[in-house]
Amino acid sequence: MTIIHNRPLDDIAETAPTLAGNAFTRAFSGGSLWRLIGMLVLILILGFLTIYPLAMLLYGSLHSTPPGMAGEFNLNGYRSIMTTQNLIVLANTIGISLAKTIPSLTIAVFLAWIVARTDTPFRGTLEVLITLPFFIPPILTAMAWGMLANPQVGVINMVWRWATGATDPLVNIYSYGGVIWHMCQYSIPFLFLFMVDAFRAMDPSLEESSRMCGASRWTTFRKITLLLMLPVLTSSFMLSFIKGIETFESALFFGLPAGIKVITTDIYESINHRATPDYQYATSLSFAIMGLMFLLVIWQWWMLRGKSFQTVTGKGFRPSVMELGPWRWVTFAFCVLFFFITVVLPIGQLMLGSFFRFFGFYTYDMLTLEHYRNVFANSEFWRAVRNTMVLGLLGATATMALGAIVAYISVRTRWRGRNLIDSMAWLPWMMPGMVLGVGFLWAFAMLPGPIPIYGTIWALLLAYIALGTPVSVRVMTGAYHQLSYDLEECSRVHGATWAQTMWRIMVALAWPAFAVGWVLTFFGIMRELSASILLYSVGSETLAVVLMKLWANGNAEQVSVIGLMMMLLVIVFRWVQLSFIKARISKL
């Protein structure tokens, strides 16, 4: 068992280099050389993914011509965005985001309370159903609602006219209300997911002691429960508001036809819908919205400073459950209704649309399987499926790997430069997909000729990795925080090297979080539209882009077919994920 060879002192004196106290020589002693190289590589990768497109965005906003053409530096871009019209766009963006955040938060709190703190029947199943809309790409629900609530031929309005004899439509999705309504469908499950664990983990003794002090149930809720939840509520509000400003799909589908513009659609339009794309305008606007996001993020930090989210004590207590009596069926019905509206209705519409010859004409003799045949015979569709799958698998794996490494270095080591890579990985958090897309557009165009990334699926892959990194870092940071340092150190003391410890202890313990993050990232990539639509080219379309093109051509029937396929994929993936997590939990 002589595995180690500790050298006696005389031996060291001859061979060990004498080290001065400066960082440079220290960095090059022993294994530190590899650490230094590793850090440099990591900084280069993150720099390419985040700093480079950001720098190109700035360059583009100051340069008069598209990349590769002779031009001059000027401030015309910024001058051109300073218009009263854009003031309305800004007001629209902020107003719509606020208008969707407030009702979303209210409903999400109510749903979280029902699931976590009441005796509503089938709470476990309801939780799965309520969160499902979060995993459905918004582009699908947008298209489904475009058909459902179309003022002329939408099913809802047809049923309304038939039932009441009215001539005016009941709802018109192409309106402010429509945009907000569609955003809410995504926001509510997102906020629910964000808050439900906080509701569940709250120590019931905090509430019970308030009751013991003589406070009523209602006073307790107001003075204890709500105030304890305040940090979570505030951060949920901010997060939802920021996400609202970044949203693209809702405003694209329901806002533009009605002449309602928000910043993201304005950027999109200035590149894609003008006779000559106005790149300088687009990049200037992108940079301006980043400034806005930056201010919002600072505000979020300022509001949450020093506030702890920790109501979890780690002790295994059961949260006290409120007994609702017969009212529990009302709360049950509310949850089911939510599921019906956000999932069953859109899926039903897609099925309806896929089996009838023309969208809007639902009679028996119009039934057909023609659309399925067309879609399956379409090579572009299969290419998009392949692209989406390749991008999803590679993208999710690469994003999570990068996130795992960055999080490890920033949480578990004291290495020089760990704060730098942490901030770099966090940068895309402030960049809406549309803005990052514009940045990468520029970034790829400025690359020297021998690196032909632009126009390939690798362009999309890089953008997806950049967009997903902040979330993957966060997921892995949470996972590492839960693992005590002792587990790692114990392995080192008992003879394992750093690499062995990583593989046998850290990877083995952190992989459930990795898997959860992987699925999240995969869904994120499948959902992604705003960066894809700028960066795709013929041959590298994703499913979302193909859907978008078919929709633009008025081919709602084939959209329905592809939409159904994607829905199926989402449900299968979600089911696999849930049963996999359950298996993990029961195993422990």
Partner 1 sequence: MASVTLENVSRMYGAITAVDNVNLKIKSGEFVTLLGASGCGKTTTLRMVAGLEKNTGGRISIGDNVVSDSDKGYFVPSERRRLGMVFQSYAIWPHMTVFDNVAYPLRIRRRPDTEVRDRVMNALRLVEMEQYAERPSPALSGGQQQRVAIARALVFEPEVLLLDEPLSNLDARLRTQMGDDFRALQQRLKITALYVTHDQAEAMALSDRVVVMHGGKILQVGAPEEIYRRPENRQVAAFFGTPNLLNATVKDCRPNGGQYYKLSVEGQGWSGDCHAATEMPKGADVTVMVRPENLHVRDAGQVNGDLSWSGEVSQAIFRGSHRSIMVKTPAQTLHVEASSLSNVDIGRPVTVAAPVEAAWAVRN
**Residues at the interface with partner 1 (CB under 8 A):** 1, 3-9, 12-13, 16-19, 26, 29-30, 484, 486-487, 489-497, 500, 504-505, 508-509, 588
Minimum CB distance to partner 1, residue 13 (Å): 7
* Residue closer to partner 1 (CB basis): 10 or 365: 10
Query: Distances in Å between the alpha carbon of 134 and those of 100, 130, 209, 476, 548?
Result: 15, 8, 36, 21, 20
Minimum CB distance to partner 1, residue 543 (Å): 37
Minimum CB distance to partner 1, residue 11 (Å): 9
* Residue closer to partner 1 (CB basis): 411 or 496: 496
* Residue closer to partner 1 (CB basis): 9 or 538: 9
Burial profile 452-476: b = 16 or more Cβ within 10 angstroms, e = fewer: ebbeebbbbbbbbbbbbbbbbbbbb
Token duo for residue 433: 């997909």
Instruction: Give Cβ neighbours of residue 503 (< 8 Å, ≥ 6 apart).
Output: none
* Residue closer to partner 1 (CB basis): 206 or 496: 496
The secondary structure of residue 321, as a DSSP letter, is -
* Residue closer to partner 1 (CB basis): 163 or 493: 493
Judge contact between 157 and 150, C-beta under 8 A: yes
* Residue closer to partner 1 (CB basis): 65 or 413: 413
Token duo for residue 522: 């995969």
CB neighbours of residue 46 within 10 Å: 23
* Residue closer to partner 1 (CB basis): 6 or 363: 6
Sign of torsion over alpha carbons 142, 465, 97, 186: positive
Q: Read out DSSP for 283-304?
A: HHHHHHHHHHHHHHHHHHHHHH
| Rounded Cα gap, residues 101 and 32, in angstroms | 48
Specify which residues 367 forms β-bridges with.
Answer: 356
* Residue closer to partner 1 (CB basis): 240 or 491: 491
* Residue closer to partner 1 (CB basis): 167 or 586: 586
Nearest Cα to Cα of residue 462 among 134, 38, 52 = 52
Judge contact between 475 and 403, C-beta under 8 A: yes
Q: Measured in whole angstroms, how far is the alpha carbon of residue 361 from the centre of its chain?
A: 36
Minimum CB distance to partner 1, residue 33 (Å): 15
* Residue closer to partner 1 (CB basis): 9 or 69: 9
* Residue closer to partner 1 (CB basis): 275 or 493: 493
CB neighbours of residue 225 within 10 Å: 18
The secondary structure of residue 174, as a DSSP letter, is S
4, containing H or E segment: none
Minimum CB distance to partner 1, residue 585 (Å): 12
Instruction: Give Cβ neighbours of residue 570 (< 8 Å, ≥ 6 apart).
Output: 132, 135, 136, 137, 523, 526
Minimum CB distance to partner 1, residue 514 (Å): 13
Minimum CB distance to partner 1, residue 317 (Å): 18
Minimum CB distance to partner 1, residue 400 (Å): 19
* Residue closer to partner 1 (CB basis): 247 or 491: 491
Nearest Cα to Cα of residue 290 among 390, 117, 432 = 432
End-to-end CA, the chain: 35
Judge contact between 111 and 105, C-beta under 8 A: no
Minimum CB distance to partner 1, residue 206 (Å): 25
**Helix ranges, 149-278 (H):** 155-164, 176-201, 204-212, 217-220, 226-246, 249-250, 263-272
CA angle (386 as vertex; 383, 389 as ends), nearest 5: 150
Nearest Cα to Cα of residue 469 among 135, 101, 42 = 42
Token duo for residue 172: 């018109």
* Residue closer to partner 1 (CB basis): 217 or 492: 492
Judge contact between 518 and 501, C-beta under 8 A: no
Minimum CB distance to partner 1, residue 30 (Å): 8
